[in-house]
Amino acid sequence: MSAVRPLLLALHLLLGAAAAVAAAPPPVLERGAAQELLLTRLPPLLGSKEVRRHLETGLTTTFAFEVRVAGAAKARGGGRVDIRYELWDEVWLVTRLDGAGQAQRLRFAAFPQLEAWWRDLRLPVLRAAGSGGRADIQLRVIPFSQSEQLDAQRWLSRSLAEESGDPGAIAGLRNEPSEDLLQLLLATSIGRPPVLELRWKMAVPPPGLPGTPGTPGDIRR
């Protein structure tokens, strides 16, 4: 029984990933005005059933892009988009963090507006990159933020420690080491595994006129 469950889960993930990959066209890597690398025409993931379900939980869904350029112009960069649906006010709160460290906070009253914004998003991921080489782009969709993770860890820790009257292993984690290793081990088992992970390889567009797209390469999960 214990051997069958992981197999089923792996099969499920494989099928889900295959479906997502099939439905997700690769983004486009372009040069910006300052020759920075931009990710544009992002795959329309927000509308997919799997991602939409997570978006509507009220938790902060993070779309983390990581770009690695191999070859002579070896470089690494990335960008991030955090989307949280405010359940009470029924608005979409978005935080965009680009590769240059610029943050932008946005608010959308409706999901179609959010989708439109996503479609038109030009996300700087690398300040400057030389010509040539290939970029490895990875997108990870993480269903909740670090602060929400820490909150859940504390809550689980408190629940575990309820009988002993202990404040919980996680409660004082930042100040002093916990005395209850067991609680700590269990509470820290809450991680942030991505619900979706996509990877593309494409050529880095040569420096030149802004808007020059790179050549898409192979797509892998």
Minimum Å distance from CB 188 to other proteins? Answer: 8
- Cα separations in angstroms, 166 against 62, 93, 153, 176, 178: 33, 36, 15, 14, 11
According to the binding rule CB under 8 A, does residue 186 interact with other proteins?
yes
User: Rounded to the nearest whole angstrom, what is the least distance from the CB of residue 76 to other proteins in the complex?
Assistant: 28
> Which C-beta is closer to other proteins: that of 73 or that of 152?
152
Closest CB to other proteins among 138 and 188? 188
User: Which residues are paired to 139 by β-bridges?
Assistant: 65, 198
Q: What is the pattern of x (binds other proteins, CB under 8 A) and - over residues 48-77?
A: ---------xxx------------------
Please report how close the Cβ of residue 125 comes to other proteins at its closest, in angstroms. 27
* Interface residue with other proteins, options 4, 7, 33, 88 (CB under 8 A): 88
Q: Which token pair is 22?
A: 């099939």
Does 128 interact with other proteins (rule: CB under 8 A)? no
The DSSP element (H or E) to which 155 belongs, if any, is helix 146-161
Residue 66, classified by CB atoms within 10 Å of its CB into exposed (0-12), middle (13-18) or buried (19+), is: middle
Q: Which is nearer to other proteins, 57 or 102 (CB)?
A: 57
Q: What is the DSSP string of 44-55?
A: --TTSHHHHHHH
- CA–CA separation, 51 and 20 (whole Å): 10
Position 34 contacts other proteins (CB under 8 A): no
| Least distance from other proteins to the Cβ atom of residue 152, Å | 4
- Nearest-angstrom CA–CA distance, 203 and 37: 12
Site mask for other proteins (CB under 8 A), range 138-157, x = bound? -----xx---xx-xx--xx-
- Cβ–Cβ < 8 Å for 51, 61: yes
Site for other proteins contains 182 (CB under 8 A):
yes
**Token pair recorded at residue 20:** 């997502």
Q: Which residues bind other proteins (CB under 8 A)?
A: 1-2, 9, 57-59, 87-88, 143-144, 148-149, 151-152, 155-156, 182, 185-186, 189-191, 193, 195
